[in-house]
Amino acid sequence: MRFMMLMLPADQCNAAPDALPSAEAVGQMMRFNKSLQEAGVLLALDGLHPPSAGARVRVVDGKVTVTDGPFAEAKEVVGGYWIIDVGSREEAIAWASRCPIGPDNTIEVRQVFEMSEFPPELRKAAEGFEDPRQSAA
């Protein structure tokens, strides 16, 4: 089963566009990432620039609007993610529990949908879409 672990760092909501983590924080995170890799469960991971460097695209009344960051209403933001392949939700939570996060930070664990979970009518609606993971192999 694939799970996405979303890093929700409390300090990134109002961070400057050029904000970077400390060398100590990066070192701790790389040790955690290496443990995922060595266990053979890591499929993908990335860290994200702060929301102040981003943009939000919305459709309002049929019209596309773009808002540049920072976003005043943001209470939680995604700072990065991991995709892991483990045997259960409990195992994914156990991995998230080992992550070196600071106070007030959160890791949200969410299972990734697999096509086999969908009923036939939804699988039919997805016919013809080539999974990019398959074409990259």
Contact at 8 Å (CB) between 43 and 136? no
| pLDDT value for 114 | 87
The CATH number, out of the four listed (3.60.21.10, 1.20.5.510, 3.40.605.10, 3.30.70.1060), of the domain defined by the range 2-135:
3.30.70.1060
Kindly give the confidence (pLDDT) of every residue in the chain, 137 residues in length, as a single tens digit, with 9 standing for 90 and above: 999 999 998 888 888 889 998 999 999 999 999 999 999 999 999 999 999 999 999 999 999 999 998 887 777 889 999 999 999 999 999 999 999 998 889 999 999 998 888 888 888 888 888 777 776 65
Q: CB neighbours (10 Å) of residue 84?
A: 23
- Report whether 35 contacts 100 (CB < 8 A): no
Interatomic CA distance for residues 83 and 92, integer angstroms: 10
Q: What is the dihedral of CA 97, 34, 1, 116, to 10 degrees?
A: 140
Token digits of residue 133 = 């993971």
Give, for 44, the enclosing helix (H) or strand (E): strand 42-47
- When computed from its CA atoms, the radius of gyration of the chain, rounded to whole angstroms, is 18
Copy the structure tokens of residue 136.
């990259």
